[in-house]
Amino acid sequence: MKAEYDLSQMKSRKNPYASKLKKSVTIRLGEDVVGYFKEMAEGTGVPYQSLINLYLRDCVSQHRTIDISWLSKT
């Protein structure tokens, strides 16, 4: 193995995994929700943002939907 490599002649190329990268978004979560995932993160050693992402990814893969309905006053 060489002590140094000359990379000046290397050509750059597009990242083939760019479509699978994460996208940064701003989201407002309740303090209790963030606290829940932070506690879970301490127990597992996985960052809480990653746990939230894993949970949401599981929802997507299982095609889970939420039923938000309010009872009408009749």
Q: What's residue 74's pLDDT? A: 61
Residue 51 lies in a domain: yes
Number of compact structural domains in the chain: 1
In this prediction the pTM is 0.64
Residue 11 lies in a domain: no
Q: What's residue 17's pLDDT? A: 80
pLDDT at 39 over 70: yes
- Contacts for 49 with CB less than 8 Å, ≥ 6 apart: none
Taking the C-alpha atoms of residue 27 and residue 55, their distance in angstroms, rounded to an integer, is 15
Parent domain of 48: 36-63
